[in-house]
Each structure stands twice: as C-alpha cells, then as structure tokens.
Chains A and B, each alone.
Chain A
C-alpha cells in the first residue's frame, strides 16, 4: 500500500512528462535548444492561463465550457469597437462589462437556479458566440488596429521571452496565493469537497460560486487579449476548435479531480508541461494534426479513468452538484 498509496495521478503525469522530455531531448534534433524550450512554454502559456481559470471552477466541483467562447467573442467585440473608432477606455469598459455579465449569469444560474454547470455554460457559450457574431462583429476574424497596445503587447519580449509566458507565470502565482492562502480560496476547496457541509458550517457557498464563474470569464478575456496580440487578430472560429477540450485536458490530466475539492496550481503546471512537451515533440516528428488529436483524446480519457479508479467518488456526496 505504501507504494501504491504514493502513486497519485500528479506524480505519474509528472514522471511521464519528464520521461518524454528526456527521450525527446536525446533523440529529436532541435528539441533541446533554448529557442525550442521557449517555444514550448509559449505554446502552452495561453492554454495554461485558461486552465488556471478552469481549475478554480473544477476544484469547486463545477465546469465552465464557455471559456473559449468568452475569450474569442469578448476580444473580437473589443477589437471591433476599436476598429469602429470608439475610444479605448469605452471599448475596454464595455467588453469587460460584457465578460463580467456572462460570468455572473453563468454563476447565478448554477448557484441559485441550480441548473447543472455543464448545461448552463454550454448554452452560454452558444449564446455568446451567436450574439456577438451576428450582432456585434462583421466578420469571423477581427484585426488588431495597427499601433494599438494589444499589438505592442504581442510583440513584447523580455530577455527574448514572449510576454505571455510572464503573464502565465504571474497569474499562476496569483491563483496559487488565492487558493492556498486566502480564506476565499479555501472556501473553494470546502465547497468542492462537500457543498452541503460547507453551507452548514456557514460559508458563503453560493456567492463564491458566482465569483468563480466571473473569475474564469475574466481569465478568458486576458487569454484572449494575449492571443490577439500574438496573432494580430482574433479569429472567432477558434470557438469551434478543440481548444476548449485542450483546456479540460490540461486541467484534469495534472490531477485536479472532476469530483472537486482536490488539486491546485501545481497540477495545472504539470498538466501544461506534459501537453506542451508532447505537442512539441509530435510537431517535430511531423505527426499529422489528426493523429495528434487522437493521441490527446486517448490521454484525456486515460487520465479521467485513472482519476476515477484512484479517487472513487462517494455515492452520497457525489449526488450533490454533479457536473
């Protein structure tokens, strides 16, 4: 039991990531170079940022499937307003207000109307996409106005490292401090472990739930700004891409149980490391994208099954607030 007991998903995934890294460094030409290592970190930065938002939701026994839609559509709308000549302050204010409103609506429906999170956020994703695409923006892709701060942000590098890496690091630190050291962060764990007990002991379970969905929407907006900065535009077709499921992959694979109450920022970092290393190695090996998706999905499924075996859910408590 001693060995098996210490064998949790986090450690296994970490070991696999290290193993792939070592094998790739020894066998793949051009893998173990400074440029490529920076590229790996950069490639998972935006994903990692989104996964931080998702992690806070999942730890509280929820899920947010609207993150990619909020990310793409809020930033596209923001850029469209800029393109239409609105002042930066007004445009940013409106976009942020929209983002907070969606997060609030998600949270309110989950917490107070008690609709399962998976349906609420699935519906709000479609709603946000449809509303913004049909009413607020003119085309699928909206360019960043030349010379705007978003464009400059995308080109910004500190010591040859792109800015999104620093943003990822900063947000990871902030999320870590929030989850680990603030009482509201701990409320997330308590509510994720047993919502009824958290309510009975006097924690503000429902307001905290709303706050989490607002947070994840804001995180999505930040990720969207970084994406638009590096690509110089925001392509809203990303809503229909598998990116959402990459976020879930990064979140879950590092050991954040879908049952809630478990995991933290470290798990997101490990998940992001594995996915970054793997995708990079597969790209160098020239594995077609279709097969990459196949491999990713197999890994996600394996991680979830493994999580289910290692952390069996309890019948009684699992019934409440199931996603």
Chain B
C-alpha cells in the first residue's frame, strides 16, 4: 500500500441517477503501467476522467500520496501532477510544437527563439524526435501524441492517463509509442492506459484492471491474466443475464431475398474494402468496437456519406447497383438509417412529437402531396405514438423535453413512417431506459417477422446476440467475421472484434 501514488475507494459516478461507474476501488503504484480494460460503456473513460478532475465523482474517496484529495478542475489535477491525454488531442493545430508545449505557462514576454531553444532541449531530454518549430497541424497522430506527452511531462506530471492512445496509430508509430511509455516508466512516471487491444495490454502493462457495466470485475498483476481470461472477464455478465437469451439455431428466422449486397466498399480511412450482404426477413447484428467503422459503413449505404470515388467498391440494392449522393435517394429506395446520435442528427428538438414523426412522411418524396395536412399529421402521430408507446406529458411537448427512451422512439417512428424495406438501427438502445429497451427489441423482432431487412449495429453484446439471426463482426473498417447464432459466443465475438 505504501507505494500507491493514487488510490480510489468506492468511487461512483452517476449521470441522472444512472451509474456509469459503481463503487470501484482502484490503485496506481509508483512507476507502473496500469492497463484499464473493458467493453464500450464499461466505465473506463468515466473512471479516468474522475482521476483527472474532468468529471466530479458522485461519491467515494480519492487519495494522492496518502492525502485525501478532490479535484475540482482538470487544472487542479494537473497542478497536483495528474495529466490526461485524450483520444482527440487537445493541442492547438495552428501553433507550433513549442508554443503548444508552453501553452498556458508563457512568460509575460516571450521570445520565440528562446522558446524554441528550451523546447528543443526539453524534447531532446525526452528523446522525442519532434521539431519544435513545426506547426502541430502538419504532424502525424503519433507525433501529436508525443507533444501531448511532452506537455504532460513538462507539467511535472507523475501520473499520465491515456485514453485509447493507440487507436489512431500505425503499427510503426505504435512501436515508438510503446518505447516511449517504457522510457516514461523508467523516469518514475506512473501510467494508466485504456485500450481495446488486449495484446498491447498484456505486453506493456504491469497490472491490469477490468471493468464491466461500471463495476470492477478483476484487478491484479498482468502475469496472472491471459487473453482468454481477460475476454471472459470483460464479457461474463451477471447483471444482464435476465436480458440475455441465447438464440438457438431453431429459433432463427430464415434468410429471405437478398436485399443489399456490398462489395469491396471503401471510404477514406474508416471503411476499407468491406463486403457483406443483408437479407430480408431477418435481423443482421453488426458488432464492433468504437472506431471499427461500422457506423461509417452503414452511413455510406444510406447515402449520408459518399464512398470513395475511385475504388470505392459497389453497393447493390436488389441486384441493382446504386450510388447515393444524398440520403434522400436512399430513403426513396426504402433504406432508412436510424442514427446513434439522435440529438445531433436524429430529431428536431424544438418541434413536437407529431411534427417530428410527420417529417418522415413529408420528406419521403413524390408520393406525398405538396400541402401539409394537419389532420393527416395528427392521425399519423396518433398512430405511431400508440404503436411505439411513446409517452409524453402532453402532446405538444417538445421532443427535447422527453426521456431518452421516448426520444429514441420518436426517431424510430420518424424513420418507420417512410415504409422502409431496409432499416438500419445504429445503437438503438444507447441512453435508453430498461423498459424502453425491451419495447425497442420487441419492435425490431416484429419488423423482421414482417419481412423487413433489419440491421442492428451495437457495441452491446447481449443486444447483438439476443436479436440477431446473423452476426457480423466489424474490425478496422471491414466486416471480418460472420457467426450464426448457434456458433456465436460472447467470447468468440469479442475475440474477433479486438485486434
């Protein structure tokens, strides 16, 4: 216990009463590399944000060097020696490396030359090959990260927290990064890093902590873990067992007609040469971790993004090649994408439930008249509020005032009024209460039974396994594996999804 630099006891963070992290104990020792693992939404980011003062804990206690502390702001944490390096870098792109290093700690008068010289010396002392006079925007991901780390070290950070540091790096850059982490360790810096890459964690870390559903499931020296035990700990569910029902092969729906076929689809760095098919009358589950390109793939299918012009691959709907430039064309062809980010691109927040649902009908194209029918709007809204069991205080309530579950139902209703043939649900139950989750799952099953082609993108394994008649696993921009419900286990799916 003596060498614990940072200790957390029964730390809890709840958002609007829903705990994201529940009574977790955590201990970071001096000069160790500590890997923090878990599925998406397991609470890793929230936990580290509490350590770095970005988020205030709801309850629990925290000790730094044996003294109880609470950080009100990230700055307070930084002054106490805890720095966090975020996934999206917090550097100012239009400034030089040196200026970024000294950002916030400039002297009253700055001589550029002096700044460059001291930055140069400092970077050399860390053995970082970065030019202090280079603009940050011209640097690659790895060098940006070096600057971030240098900044943390410059602030005399004793604890540096990395949130998925390797997600955006090439293999070559990763090797550099690992070497750098080891050098930091040699300097006595303690490191926490969040990762999805199990090999990295096993390779690099001294100790491992695994979270699941906001709770601590395992912690201990790395030597005590294997890839298999980690995966088992990450997915082995206790809480969600009731929700989780293994689909037997007999219970699956037969594949109907092939609705969508995608060949070698590519878009930028996010979708790389992916190929798959979607069939009518069944639910195709798409599992992948954040950043695996699953959302982007289906946004290309539904016309929200455009695939690469050259070597972008081919998409065919009912065997007819299609290339959508706007979602409108996809909607007219019966493809509806129900977004994972309903606030940003799903609903119209200042409008009523009726206006939101009616928007789908108004937009659907030639088959709607030029005028707005108030009676039609009321009828459609009444029908779908009932079908989807949308509950609001009153009919004129603005959508932004509804609960997450009801908002999600509104967004779903807005898509379903368009009578689609292919519905793509992206994280349909994110930020949705338990009751609404069951209703949305029942709806998804009903749609498939009615003969629609349904895709469910999710990073929540029980959801994928519970709903799907086929499971596709997405990793690094492509569909890498396909499972039938009979052969799929959580461990096998997770194994395919991590790299």
| Chain A residues packing against B (C-beta within 8 Å) | 180-187, 189-190, 193-194, 196-204, 206, 261-262, 314, 316-317
Contact = CB atoms under 8 A, between A and B. Distances in A.
B345 A196 contact: yes
Interface stretch (B251-259, B356-364, B443-451): B356-364
B349 A183 contact: no
Contacts of A200: 302, 304, 327, 337, 339, 345-346
8 shortest interchain CB distances as A-B pairs: A202-B331, A196-B345, A202-B363, A193-B348, A203-B363, A202-B328, A201-B363, A183-B362
Contacts of A194: 344-345, 347-349
Most buried by B among A196, A204, A261, A262: A196
A74 to B, nearest CB: 29
Interface in B308-365: 326-328, 330-332, 337, 339, 343-351, 359-360, 362-365
A123 to B, nearest CB: 24
Nearest to B341: A316
Nearest to B342: A197
Interface in B195-239: none
Contacts of B15: none
A305 to B, nearest CB: 19
Nearest to B417: A201
A317 B339 CA distance: 15
A199 B327 contact: yes
B418 interface: yes
Contact of A193 (B337, B351, B372): B351
Given A182-B370, A202-B365, A317 B343 contact: yes
Contact of B362 (A180, A186, A193): A186
A261 B326 CA distance: 22
Contact of B372 (A182, A198, A314): A182
Nearest to A199: B327
Nearest to A202: B331
B241 to A, nearest CB: 35
A201 B417 CA distance: 11
B304 A187 contact: no
Contact of A314 (B332, B349, B370): B349
B16 interface: no
A184 B344 contact: no
B405 to A, nearest CB: 18
A199 B302 CA distance: 11
Contact of B360 (A181, A182, A201): A201
A190 B348 contact: yes
B345 A202 contact: no
A146 B172 CA distance: 81
B418 A316 contact: no
Nearest to A311: B350
Contacts of A182: 370-372
Given A194-B344, A196-B344, A200-B337, 19 more contacts: A181-B371, A183-B362, A184-B370, A194-B348, A194-B349, A196-B345, A197-B346, A199-B326, A199-B328, A200-B304, A200-B327, A200-B346, A201-B359, A202-B331, A202-B418, A203-B359, A203-B363, A261-B350, A317-B344
A196 B369 CA distance: 24
A197 B370 contact: no
Contacts of B359: 186, 190, 198, 201, 203
A314 B344 CA distance: 10
Q: Which of A185, A197, A202, A261 is most buried by chain B, counting CB atoms within 10 A of its CB? A: A202
A183 B343 contact: no
Given A181-B372, A183-B368, A202-B365, A261 B327 contact: no
B414 interface: yes
Interface string B272-312: 00000000000000000000000000000010100000000
Interface string B65-84: 00000000000000000000
Nearest to B400: A314
A259 to B, nearest CB: 9
A262 B352 CA distance: 12
25 contacts: A180-B372, A181-B371, A183-B362, A183-B369, A183-B371, A185-B372, A194-B345, A194-B347, A194-B348, A194-B349, A196-B344, A197-B345, A198-B363, A199-B304, A199-B328, A200-B345, A201-B360, A201-B414, A202-B331, A202-B360, A202-B365, A203-B359, A204-B326, A261-B351, A314-B400
Contacts of A183: 362, 368-372
Nearest to A203: B363
A261 to B, nearest CB: 5
Contacts of A190: 348, 351, 359, 362-363
Contact of A316 (B326, B343, B362, B370): B343
A112 B256 CA distance: 40
Nearest to B337: A200
A182 B326 CA distance: 22
A193 B356 CA distance: 11
Nearest to A185: B372
A171 to B, nearest CB: 20
Nearest to B347: A197
Contacts of A206: 326
Contacts of B418: 201-202
B362 A317 contact: no
B372 A186 contact: yes
A187 B355 CA distance: 11
B153 to A, nearest CB: 32
Contacts of A262: 350
Contacts of B363: 187, 190, 198, 201-203
B317 to A, nearest CB: 15
- Tell me which of A185, A186, A193, A200 has the highest count of chain B C-beta atoms within 10 A of its own C-beta: A200
A185 B370 CA distance: 10
Contacts of B326: 199, 204, 206
Nearest to B304: A200
A37 B301 CA distance: 60
Nearest to B365: A202
Contacts of A193: 348-351
A276 B310 CA distance: 59
A314 B349 CA distance: 9
Contacts of B328: 199, 202-204
Contacts of A189: 348, 351
A199 B372 CA distance: 19
